[in-house]
Chains A and B, each alone.
Chain A
Amino acid sequence: MKTSTSVTASLVKWSDGDAAAFDEIYPKLEPELRRLALSMFRRFRPGETLQPTALIGEAYIKLAGQNRVIWRNRNHFFAIAATSMRRIVCNYHRDVNAKKRGDGAIKISLSKLTGPAFDRSSDLIALDEALDKIAEFEPRKVAIVEMRFFGGLTNLEIAETLGISESTVAREWRMTKAMIYRMLSNES
């Protein structure tokens, strides 16, 4: 895939830790990212899990036309990968659901819990919007959700990435889940 120099520059800034750079180029990269994510998903057998780091790493290499990615550090890469993953997954479903509406809409399970009590919250888009609201006053909590839920990191990895203690991560995680639950269930 050919990418313009400005895109490449943004990609480099992104790998340097500039999250805004990713937002800038995301619209241009989206089709390729989706295609890539799709093809990576198909490569996996049921039971195997796609690693967001692998997806983002591969996407970066492809998009920037480079042979390898130099990330500022490993932890930083985890955070970036998780954010990107959230963007890819949520935007994809927003689009697909906008086209299909109603019955055809995809419902993504947010939990092993299912059942009528949880119907309202089984909506990825609602989660995305809730996270946006939370980010306005608690950006770190959002980062934790992104890394755990979208990035599949453990509390220990998250703690290392954010430079906080593991118990803080656990506490924040629990608080955030309660916040999200309230936003998704009755107080929309």
Chain B
Amino acid sequence: MFAKIKTAGLKGLDGFMVDVEADVQNGLPGIYLTGALSPETKEAQYRVMNALRNSGFRMEPRKITVNFSPASERKEGTGYDLPIAAAILAAQGAVSAGKLERTALVGETGLDGSLKKIRGVLPLAFFLRENGIERIIVSSENAAEASLAEGVDVIGCSDLREAVDVLWKILQGDMSEYNAAYGSSCSMYGITEEEVPDYPVDFSEVRGQDYLKRAAEIAVSGRHNILFSGPAGTGKTMIARRMPTIMPRLSREENIEISKIYSICGLLPGERPLLSKRPFRSPHHGISEAAFAGGGSRAMPGELSLASGGILFLDELPLFRRDTLEMLRQPMEDRKITVTRMKGSYTYPADFLLAGAMNNCACGFYPGRRCTCSKAQIKAYTGRLSKPLLERIDICAEARPVSYGELSGKEASETSVRIRERVEKVTGIQEARFHGCGNIRYNSQMGIREIGRFCVLGREEQDFMRETFQAKSLSGRTYHKILKVARTIADMDGSGAIRTEHLAEAVELRSIEDSLSAPAGHGRDLPPELRARGRETC
């Protein structure tokens, strides 16, 4: 006998519908799975058979073939156990598959018949909803997560027996019990709309460092990537860690998007499977490329995607391998990353704000007097920074050592909530400004055309910029970055026009890429052997 059960699989964040077809015929008893299965999916033949027997179902000694259609699409993960079990039972006549057209099953079984949670239920539930599924049966551990896809009935079951009971109820058309218990709203899982993010850290804990705090606020307001430099122990990391707390609150859609990524990595908290806090990811500098950008044999999202919507913090930036940092280039332009592996290519969001931190020298004390590095060593240390990465950083803020007075001071600093209110106001201004400008949402994303349109300088300001440009021998790119940052500072001031004071602050916070490069035309075309030893002339 033949039976068909609906389920779905994931390719990155995208889903595809899968029909699990079971057929029971006379032949050598056993279970045969076909349809491009990964090893862990194929193991289902042992898990499911034992789970069914241990749940009290009698298995006939006949040949069972289970096919996954479309057979060409590769299927990964253990979420197919439950649909396989249902398909086998239906094929043997234990349940009827007739009225299950709009019901999907997803879940892993244990040998005892219990249902276990799987990764990626959140994107799966959204995908199933979009494909006309009205009811999803999942493990009870996954129920809360799946229920975030509003408009679809989620029924959580703790074991196979319970799942089969549910199927019978569906076939009898008697869903009153479940409608009462589960409803279709996620509110019963305690996931309310207006959740105030509760971060474990707060800006009010940072004493002194007004300059750095101001730089962080500017960075967050205009989505400018930022680099903190300065002596060790001055609070660079502390401030970066608090940057998510002043970012605008997540909207429901943003929240779901971010939570989906965490769902497929299995990182969502079980009791309240929605992030609501903006992520802060700080990978160690020894991180592998696959863990950083995404990849591995199953092409999982990397740190770049996990930081999406929040802060990607790279501490000790010069220590990161160049290859690792090169991975940042494409996602920083496109705000998403495509991971290509043998089994296909997957696109994940990577819309993060990059915050870097570095000491100015290897011993960490420069420019303090305790620094023991020579000028050449200091140069070599900062010279390790990747140029292409610096090109994408708008703001560089120099930290200074904090005095005892500031540390022990009673003076209360501003709380994150108050700063966030200001930031939200500035993002509002930008939203209005870039209405109809394509996918530009923040000042940092302005191109040359938008800079020409929105960063107009008055006569006095032009004079100031011209003189500064010459005195500091800025490059064209730095000049544009200064304008973008000045735009954000003016927005924070509530000023429509960019004034000299805004420019002055933007110049001070400018990127250090100019100071690292050789004077224009010199040194860049140098063959490597001469670069190490000096420059040959004439």
The answer to whether A and B come from one shared complex is: no
The interface of chain A, by Cβ under 8 A from chain B, is: none
The interface of chain B, by Cβ under 8 A from chain A, is: none
